[in-house]
Structures are given as structure tokens and as C-alpha cells.
Chains A and B, each alone.
Chain A
Amino acid sequence: MSFTALWPNKALLWKEWMNTSVIAAFFVGIITYVSSYTLLNEILLFRELAESGNSYLMTFETHDLLWHMANKAVVALGSILFMIALAAVMVGQERGHNTFDLLLAMPYSRREVIYNKFLFGFGLLLAVFVLNTLIMTVLIAVNPGIDFPFGIADVWTWALRSVLVLGFVFAFTLFISSMSGTTLGNGLLALIFLFFPIGMTSLIIVNVEFLHLLNDHRSVDSLLNTGMLLTVPTYIMGSHVFEEYNPTYVYGLLFLSTLVLYQLTQYLFARNHMENNGEVLMFSRIEGFFKLGVAVCFALLVAPIVMHRWDPGIFTAIIVYLVVGVSFWLLVNGIINWRRKA
């Protein structure tokens, strides 16, 4: 890519805004509501209580400040879902409406198209968090009389972590979108694979325990911890990863992973055959891996549910796993063929 191509393209960024303004506006609204607006609201309430002499409520109010911190997991999950939706729609809708045909007939390279999608997503993230963090910084600074349960540095740390984790989520969804041909596929696959490490670890543990193959709880805990560590979205959902590991390394790793995902997305998108738009997968070569993955995951998920009422022998259990796995393999195969014909 030439140096000039690194400049944002005004037309492409404007187009992204026009196509995703509803999702983007919701995202801006929610983050602003749970951060700046809530803080301001709580400060006003706190002052009102202080003026009316109800000082016994003041301690409670200070600890309730920044509502999103008290409901961190829910708010974080909400923002993660918004980022997934944003990235899934940015690519999926272009495929669905065949507007990549329009765009790629214009003097834009594929690299430039994807680059500006990344720029738009990260620009939005940065704008929302920097703006709200600045507002919160000012609010805290102009209210020295309130004993806040957090300082200005905490607010900036919250913003940095959110931007890095949500940036990773956005990049990961674009990466998945370079392999999937529909908006729904982009979103669902990104959601599944983002939570895949902890999900798969949990499935393995459930199945291993169900089949009485492992009774060592320390190994189970260790497996779960590894699963959590590899599940990036949980970093802003109450995980202790920033306390357990050096935050600088975690930030660095997140940043590097996002860059790697960006390069992979560029690599795959450059090889996208636009005639495959609308299919479940853009690359027929990964179909086998995908079907096998679905079959294994659903076998691990569904088989213990099917067998939980009785204690099957190992032979019966294997049969059930195989039947469920093959059923889901056939199902996903059917869906892929149906989309291809459509």
C-alpha cells in the first residue's frame, strides 16, 4: 500500500457512516448513557442529597457512581454485541445488496475498502470513548468535594481497556466477515468464535465429567482459567486478567492481535470471489473444517443433554455422540447447499 493510500478516504468513510449510522448512533448513545450521562446524573443527585442534609445516603451514592462499573458485565456484553453487529453489517450488507460490485468497479482497491472500514470502526470507538472520558474527567475535576470511588486515571484506564478489547472484537468480526458471505453468518460466527475458548473448555469439562473421566478439580480450574484467558471479550466483563497479568503486556498483545487480524482480513478479502456473496462461506476450501467443527461442538453440547437422564456405557455414549455429530454435519451441509442454490 502506498503512503497516500494510508490517508482516510472521505467518500468511503462517509458511505460507512450513511450505511451504519443507526447502529453507530445506538452505540454512541449507550456508551454515553452508561458513562457521562450517568455520572452527571449521580453527581446532581449527590449534590441534591448533600443540600437537603441527607448525608447518610451520600456514601451509598458515591459508590453507585458510574453505574456501568456496577453492571460491568452487562454493559460490556452490550458494547461487544454492538461492535459485532457493526462489523457484520459493514461487510454483510455490501454482500447482500451486491454493492461490492459498485464499489469494486470504482477506482478503489480491495485493500482500500477494507482499510477504510477498519478506520471507520476504530474512529467511532475512539471518538465515543475519548469524548466520554474527557467529559467524565471534567466532571470529576470540577467536583472536588465528592469522594469518588474512582479517580481520573481509572476512567482513562476503563476507556483504554474498552477501546482495545472492543477494537479486537471489531477486527475479529471483520476477519470472520472476510470468510462468511452473509450478515447473519458474520455476526453468529464471530460471536461463537469470540467465546469459543471458554465455550469449548466448558464443553470439554462437562463431557469429561459426564463420562467420569476426570475428577481432579485443580485440572478443571486450570482448564477454565486458560479458557477465560483466551476469551478476549471477557476482559471487560469482570475477568481478572488485568490484575493477574501485567496490563502493559495484555494491552500490547491485544494491539498486536488486532493488527494481525487486520492483515489476515486484508489477505482473505483480496482473495474473495464476489460471485460467492450470499453463501455461508466465501471459501469452499474451509467448508470441511467448518462442518467438522459444527459437528464436534454440537455433539459435545447436545449429547450430554440427551444422555443426562440415564448413565450410558461408553459404547452407547460414543454412538450418541456420533449420531448427534453426523446430524449436525448433515444440517450444516444442507444449509450451505441451500444458500448456494439461493
Chain B
Amino acid sequence: MIQIENLNKNYGESQALQDINLRVEQGSIFGLVGPNGAGKTTLIKTIMGVLLPSDGRVLVDGRDVHQDPTVKSRVGYVADYQNYYPGFRVKDMIRLYRQTYPHWSEERFAELSRIFSLPEGQKMAKLSKGMRTQLAVLLNLSLMPAVLVLDEPTSGLDPVLRRLVLNILVGEVAGNGTTIFIATHQLNELERTCDHVGILHEGRVLFDESLEQMKENIRKIQAAFDGELPEEFLKRPEILKVERQGRVYSIVVKEKVDEVKAELLNYKPLLLEDIDLSLEDIFIYRMGGLGYEFHGIVA
């Protein structure tokens, strides 16, 4: 379990993270999205103990990662760009991880090595970004993590490997109860994998909710009418967006979905149905509702 309490991080005068409070339950996948410069990497590096917090603390399984780094013996970390010792070969990095992590599993390593097939004699400096990411996934899953922290884990991977990595991660949660904290721009990936999603903007967590709750709270209603809907109805605050094509209205509603549907029935619709929105659409509407520029979040 990851618990972040009142976390603040300043870079000189500017505040990179502001009063972050998050809780990621054991065996769940938490997805963090945010535009470039929102503070995702800063948050992840602070969670991992690389950066010192200006205030607040990060607990993994109840232990402060900055006070007691040994808690990280069961924490894997895949960075956006994995920094390795350039003079090392792949086999040297494997050796370093093997010697560092007490729960290292040779069995798991052998199993994953067959999937990723990395050249062990290759110098780290000559590995492409995709190969670095593959190596990071291989190493960090072989250490038998209880918690996995991932920063853009699929960047640089081809679509096949991307799908494979995501499936492996989901398998980790299902098979080993691993807690996963993942930051990405790929909302479609989050939709397939995450239980909870949080959005970070200008160093603040704007909201974090379960994906299910999010999808229930914001929906698109499609309805067809012979006549027009009254203007005052369409101006209700819970209606985020209205589109009309001929007799068909598409109405995006937040929170009071059932109430709006019940009222629409009063206008005798020819057709009335509500549709799940994609995560991407939900974010666009939620953020738009909050008055935020959202273009950067959706890659």
C-alpha cells in the first residue's frame, strides 16, 4: 500500500507539488495522468526516495521511504528514461539487481528473459530507449515487488510489446497482489488496466476516483424527440455538453444522471439510452468543467 501525506516539493521558488494526499490500496492499480510539467515525474521520484520532499511524507506499507529505505527492497521502479551505468553491460546490471534485492527470483527472471530476450553482453550505452524499458521491466519484476512504481512504462515500446507489458502488469496484480502506481499519457492504457485514476495538474491532485465511480458519475445520454428541448433544461449545471443532430440529442451529464434521465422522460422521447464514456472523454469533460486547459493531458 502507498500512502502519500501532505506532500510538498519546491524547486527553489516554484512549487512543483502542492499538498498531495493519495492512498493506493494493496493489490490495486492507480493511474496518474497530467499534462507535461504537471509534476508526475517529480511525484514519482519523491515516492521512490530519489527526491527529498519539502514537506510531508510517503509511506509504503506503513514505513516512510525517506526514513527507512529498506522498505524499497520490495519496490520496483521503472523510470521514464532509465538511467543505467553507461560502462556496464546488461549482465552487469542484472548482477547489481540480483545482489541488491533480497527477494530476487531466478525463476521469474528466466521466465521473463525468454519473453524479452535482451542481449546480455550489450553495453548499456548502446541500448535503445525501448530496450532500456524492457530491461527495467525485466529487472523490476524479477525482484518480486510488492509495489511497482512506473513512469511512462510503455514509452519507446512497439504496440506488441506495449500490450505485452500491460498484460504482464495486470497479471502481477492478479497473481501476486502487487500494488501498481503508474503515470502515463496513454489514457486508453489506463482504461484497460487501472482501478483508480488521479489527475495531477500544476502540482495538485485535482481528483482521484475509482474508474467505475468515474464512469458512473459522468455519462452520455442519447435521446431523440419530435420537438426541441427547452433551453432552461439544457442549462442545468449538471449538463456539461449538448450536441444535436436532427432529432437526436447527445447530452453529457455529470453526477445526477438518473435525475436528468427521469426528467427527459417527461418530454416523451422516441429513444433514450445512456452510454459509457471513454476515459479520455471523461477527463476532457471533467477538466473542462473545472475550467482547466486540458489539451496536454491527452497525447
Contact residues of A with B, CB < 8 Å? 10-11, 14-15, 18-19, 97-102, 104-109, 112, 271, 273-275, 284
Main SS of the interface on chain A?
A: helix
Chain A residues with CB below 8 A from B71, complex form: 107
Can you show 5 pairs from A to B with CB atoms below 8 A apart?
Answer: A11-B96, A18-B88, A101-B45, A105-B45, A105-B79
Chain A residues positioned under 8 Å from B83 (CB to CB): 97-99, 101-102
Q: Which residues of A contact B95 (CB under 8 A)?
A: 14
A105-B72, A106-B100 given; name 15 further pairs at CB < 8 Å.
Answer: A14-B96, A18-B85, A18-B92, A97-B85, A98-B83, A102-B85, A104-B49, A104-B69, A105-B45, A106-B69, A106-B72, A107-B69, A107-B100, A108-B69, A274-B51
Nearest CB in chain A to that of B74: its residue = A107
Residues in chain A near residue B88, CB distance under 8 A: 18
A271 to B54, CA, bound (A): 11
* Chain B residue total in the interface (Cβ 8 A): 29
Smallest CB–CB gap between B100 and chain A, Å?
A: 5
When distances are taken between beta carbons in the complex, the residues of chain A under 8 Å from B75 are: 105, 107
- Bound state CA distance, A181 and B159, in angstroms? 39
User: In the bound complex, do residue B100 and residue A11 qualify as a contact, i.e. CB atoms below 8 Å apart?
Assistant: yes
Q: Is the beta-carbon distance between B100 and A274 smaller than 8 angstroms?
A: no
Interface string of B80-91 (1 = CB under 8 A from A): 001111111000
Q: Are the C-beta atoms of B50 and A100 separated by less than 8 Å?
A: yes
Chain B CB within 10 Å, residue with most, of A15, A107, A271, A273: A107
B: which residues have CB within 8 A of A? 11-12, 45, 48-52, 69-73, 75, 77, 79, 82-88, 92, 95-96, 99-101
> Is the CB–CB distance between A275 and B11 below 8 Å?
yes
**Complex Cα–Cα for A14 and B45 (A):** 25
Closest 8 A-B residue pairs measured CB to CB? A11-B99, A98-B83, A107-B73, A107-B72, A105-B48, A105-B77, A104-B50, A109-B69
Q: Is the CB of B49 within 8 A of A105?
A: yes
Complex CA gap A101/B44 in Å reads 11
Q: How far is the CA of A10 from the CA of B31 in the complex (A)?
A: 36
**Complex contact A19–B87 (CB within 8 A):** yes
Measured CA separation A98–B169 after assembly (Å): 26
Q: Which of A97, A109, A271 is within 8 Å of B86, CB to CB?
A: A97
Across the interface, name the chain B residue whose C-beta is closest to A96.
Answer: B86
In the bound complex, how far is the Cα of B50 from the Cα of A323, in angstroms?
43
Q: For A100, list chain B residues within 8 Å (CB).
A: 50
Chain A residues near B85 (CB, 8 Å)? 15, 18-19, 97, 99, 102
